[in-house]
Amino acid sequence: MTAPTLKTTPLHAEHFRLGARMVDFGGWHMPVQYSGIMDEHHAVRKAAGLFDISHMGQFIAEGAGAASWLDSMLTNRVAKLGVGQGHYTFLLNAAGGVIDDLIVYRTGETEFLLIVNASKIEEDFAWLDAHRVEKASLWDRSKAFAGFALQGPQAEAILRQVYCDSFEPPARNAICGAGAGTLVARTGYTGEDGFEIFPRAEDAAMWWNRILEIGAPLGLKPCGLGSRDTLRMEMCYPLNGNDLSPVRTPLVAGLGMFVDLTKENFIGRDVLVAQKEQGLGERLAAIRTLEKGAPPRAHYGVWKDGAQIGELCSGTLSPSLELGIGLAYLPLAFATPGTAVEIDVRGRRLAAVVEKKPLYRK
């Protein structure tokens, strides 16, 4: 697939202007890095970084029956959200496997905003729409919105300068309007304080450049997908398609805190209840190497006492820890923190250990 056939975000021209290295990311032409993955990673941990997340999908669900309908589709209790609140949740198939992980915000008494993964826009919409009730409407507004992630210790200070003096940034996991059709949510994928900003697509370049200009004196840098991956890996945040899949439930992924089994009914619930009663056979474990070497990658084998016990779903070199890290589904007996394992990196077995999540702590 060549660049002209890939999907592009409203910031495509800005990425070229800033000298970004562009790659094919799930059918989108996206920046993987600007100044370098290490440099951008440390900028987010120490100051701030700005990511283009315009490729992610935005759905609007509304109507008198929207809350109860979404409660039947998603694992968390949507109806308990107050206006302006949001939370992380899962869209499951009938077998309890993960179709997508997403964030849902209540933007009005009967209106909700769903932020879904870019590669799942069409599948998510079709699945939701196929189960939609009469008193709920669903709209795909992905092309109407752009999206930025402003992340890092200086994110709030930058945001306060970007908008008027009277603008009050939202609390954690909350969303509010910022004028000019823009929504601002205090959420992120890096483990740092930060915001996800959703302006109108036609205003994207203006807001992007304004944030970069104001943030530069505070250490803000544009960041690509490379550092977004290393940052989320240090926090053990899952990546759909790698660490989450339609054949595994959120429970074995160690994400049961985002599943409300007290709800009477949602798609996949019966499977999850049975799985919890019978006990889990495996769990998504965090692993850190004990020696330096080539970065571990997805599908590298995890070994114990001469036998392979699993393989990495995700793997990378942690810029903060300066060691290899990864996530792997392991039999429950080997998923306990402190368990010694090995990772097969290009034919060399590197000593490693299962760690408590997250792998990075301040």
Query: What CATH number has the domain bearing residue 129?
Result: 3.30.70.1400
Would you say residue 321 lies in a domain? yes
Decide which of 140, 175, 199 is a domain's last residue.
140
Determine the residue type at 332: L
What's the domain range around 339? 281-355
Verify that 285 and 226 share a domain, yes or no: no
Is the model's pTM score more than 0.85?
A: yes
Same domain for 160 and 131? no
CATH code for the domain in which residue 335 is found = 2.40.30.110
Which of 213, 205, 207, 206 has the alpha carbon at shortest distance from 195? 207
Asked if residue 240 belongs to a domain, the reply is: no
Model confidence at 2, pLDDT cuts 50, 70, 90, reads very low
Which pLDDT value is given to residue 179? 79
Where residue 213 sits, what CATH number does that domain have?
Answer: 3.30.1360.120
If you average pLDDT over residues 83-100, what whole number do you get? 98
pLDDT in tens, 275-326: 999 999 999 999 999 999 999 999 999 999 999 999 999 999 999 999 999 9
Say if residues 152 and 47 touch (Cβ distance below 8 Å): yes
pLDDT, residue 4, reads 59
Are 176 and 222 part of one and the same domain? yes
Is the pLDDT reported for residue 104 higher than 60? yes
Residue 212 maps to a domain? yes
Domain total of the chain: 3
Q: Is residue 256 part of a domain?
A: no
Over residues 65-81, mean pLDDT: 97
Task: Assess if residue 23 is contained within a domain.
Answer: yes
Considering the domain architecture, whether residues 70 and 31 belong to the same structural domain is answered as no
pLDDT tens across 18-48, in order?
A: 999 999 999 999 999 999 999 999 999 999 9
**Mean local confidence (pLDDT), 354-361:** 97
**What is the SS3 string spanning the chain?**
CCHHHCECCCCHHHHHHCCCEEEEECCEEEEEECCCHHHHHHHHHHCEEEEECCCCEEEEEECCCHHHHHHHHECCCHHHCCCCEEEEEEEECCCCCEEEEEEEEEEECCEEEEEECHHHHHHHHHHHHHCCCCCCEEEECCCCECCEEEECCCHHHHHHHHCCCCCCCCCECEEEECCCCCEEEECCCCCCCEEEEECEHHHHHHHHHHHHHHHHHHCEEEECHHHHHHHHHHCCCCCECCCECCCCCCCCCCCHHHCCCCCCCCCCHHHHHHHHHHCCCEEEEEEEECCCCCCCCCCCEEEECCEEEEEEEEEEEECCCCEEEEEEEEEHHHCCCCCEEEEEECCEEEEEEEECCCCCCC
